[in-house]
Chain A
Amino acid sequence: MSDKKIRVMVAKPGLDGHDRGARVLARCFRDAGFEVIYTGCHQTPEQIASAAIQEDVDVVGLSCLSGAHRYLFPAVAKLLKEQGADDITVVGGGIIPEQDFQLLYDAGLKAIFVPGATLASIVDWFNTNVQPRA
């Protein structure tokens, strides 16, 4: 019997060592029955895109609390696209002002989660919008 699972990569791009939120999310995704690849802090967009492809994830969740999301999030989306992997859903979260949302959506991100988003609402979004591809 086929046993499909959502594979998620939780990644922290750039010079931001605050990964409590990312770890809480990783744990929460585990409890939702997803397979979660966590790659740790201080990742370049190139490392994240390459690892996402090697791991065949369905979705990459980027966390950034440093304010550099305007550069880092689109960079990951662009690299995935260049490598023919734009079927991988990219979402982001962190301290992200509302006026930046459109720029990130235009760059290909499918959702932005900011402080106040409940874990349940994030898992719900994943279950509704992400299909395990196999």
Chain B
Amino acid sequence: MERVKRIKAGDVRTASRLIRNLEDGMIEARSTIKHIFPLTGRANVLGITGSPGAGKSTLVDGLVESFRKKEKTVGVLAVDPTSPFTGGAILGDRIRMQRHAEDPGVFVRSLATRGALGGLAKAVGDAIHILDVMGKDMIIVETVGTGQQEVDIINHSHTVIVVLIPGMGDEIQAIKAGIMEIADIFVINKADREGSSKLRREIMAMLDMAPPTAFAAGWRPPIIRVENAFEPEGFNKSLEELSSTIEKHYQHLVKHDLIGSRIRRKAVMELNEAIRTCILEPVLNRLIADGETETMIEKLINKETDPYTLAEDVAKRYLKDLNL
């Protein structure tokens, strides 16, 4: 397939257009992924998540610089939110990364969430495959600014970095479930600000209380302090530390045979996602096109029936082999 050949050769236009077609839900784009999928699994995938304004994009920019110094090629997928009202989006992560715009070893692509709830865009999984087949050694996925629950990034990454900043809340935040549990590495960013030692103590206490099973083969998430990005000397040093910690984590996964479980996690997610795309979406689209959705909504509003009865009725018509 010509398109696959071009992507393998690293052609940016072809790759970016394919990502676009996947975002737009074009069925023919899926057939290209069918050819690409068997070729994937070479790149190291890094997830970066944290609250809005935590400094994720600036850290990504610093990591790109550090990987490039080690002569690794880098792909970046940066996700920003879609407006729930207009469907539009402002994708601004790139602003921090523009110094790499002309480096052919770096490919940065911004994606809008388009309604996805887990902190990523629906096309991210396939976009990772595309960058992988383009030959990028490192793929960095930056999530939207997250709250507590947007943890989809774990399904895609070998290493997850959770970026925190001082002053975001009391110690109860540190024992909550969700985003605080998914880190392989913590970064305390803007650590020159007041409250960074307290934040560090809170993370340490949280980790101290975690059951030993929480640390896969003994990997206790290290905490890296990163100070003001406008003071390049200290910033670059912290970034070197972060970059070598990422490398160490990857070695740890390899040494203890943990990569397999992460690959499995991604496979489970991709299968579920693909089934949803191939079964649920066509059905929903047909119901909308036939005007049936509107009729059903009216029935619900008037309390003539309930959502389960309606859904079971749809399932009976479309999924004949299910015993409902």
Closest to A41 in B: B95
Task: Give the residues in chain A near B86, CB-CB below 8 Å.
Answer: 30-33
Among listed B40-48, B102-110, B158-166, B178-186, interface-contacting one: B102-110
Asked if B94 CB lies within 8 Å of chain A CBs, one says yes
| Residue contact A56 to B88, C-beta cutoff 8 Å | no
Q: Which residue of B lies closest to A37 (CB)?
A: B91
Q: Answer yes or no: B155 CB below 8 A from chain A CBs.
A: no
B17 within 8 A of A: yes
- Interface pair B24/A5, CB less than 8 Å apart: yes
Nearest CB of chain A from residue B199's CB, rounded to whole Å = 29
Q: Are A36 and B88 in contact (CB under 8 A)?
A: yes
| Among A2, A44, A50: residue with most chain B CB under 10 A | A50
Q: Mark A18-33, 1 if CB is under 8 A from B, else 0.
A: 0000000011011111
For the complex formed, measure the closest distance between the CB of B229 and the CB atoms of chain A, giving whole angstroms. Answer: 15
Q: Tell me if B25 and A56 are in contact (CB < 8 A).
A: no
Q: How far is the CB of B41 from chain A (nearest CB, A)?
A: 24
Instruction: Report how far A30 CA is from B88 CA in the complex, Å.
Output: 4
Within residues 75 to 97 of chain B, which ones have a CB less than 8 A from any CB in chain A?
A: 82-83, 86-92, 94-95
Q: Given the known inter-chain contacts A35-B88, A37-B94, please indicate yes or no for A1 contacting B108, CB distance below 8 A.
A: no
Q: A1-B25, A1-B281, A4-B24 are in contact. Are A51 and B90 (CB under 8 A)?
A: no
CB distance from A63 to the nearest CB of B (A): 14
Q: Are B101 and A50 in contact (CB-based, < 8 A)? A: yes
Contacting pair B110 A50 (CB below 8 A): no
B285 at interface (Cβ–Cβ under 8 A)?
Answer: yes
Q: Which residues of A contact B92 (CB under 8 A)?
A: 37-38
B91-129 contacts to A, CB under 8 A, are 91-92, 94-95, 98, 101-102, 107-110, 112, 114
Contacts between chains A and B (CB distance < 8 A), count: 102
Q: Given A34-B88, A38-B92, do A7 and B20 touch, yes or no (CB 8 Å)? A: yes
Number of interface residues, chain B, beta carbon within 8 A:
34
Q: Once bound together, how far apart are the Cα atoms of A30 and B12, in whole Å? A: 25
Q: Is the CB of B101 within 8 A of A5?
A: no
Nearest CB on B from A94, distance (A): 19
Q: Is the CB of B13 within 8 A of A37?
A: no
Q: Is the CB of B13 within 8 A of A53?
A: yes
**Could you say which residues of chain A place their CB within 8 Å of the CB of B285?**
1
Q: What is the CB-to-nearest-CB distance from B25 to chain A, in angstroms, rounded to a whole number?
A: 5
List the A residue with the shortest CB-CB distance to B16.
Answer: A56
The reply to whether B89 and A36 form a contact with Cβ atoms under 8 Å apart is yes
Chain B interfacial positions (CB closer than 8 Å to A)? 12-13, 16-17, 19-21, 23-26, 82-83, 86-92, 94-95, 98, 101-102, 107-110, 112, 114, 281, 285, 288
**5 nearest interchain CB pairs?**
A30-B88, A56-B16, A40-B95, A47-B101, A1-B285
**27 contacts across the A-B interface (CB closer than 8 A):** A2-B26, A3-B114, A5-B87, A27-B90, A29-B88, A30-B88, A30-B89, A32-B88, A33-B88, A35-B91, A35-B112, A36-B89, A36-B91, A37-B92, A37-B110, A39-B98, A40-B95, A40-B98, A43-B98, A46-B102, A47-B101, A51-B98, A54-B109, A56-B16, A56-B20, A134-B20, A134-B26
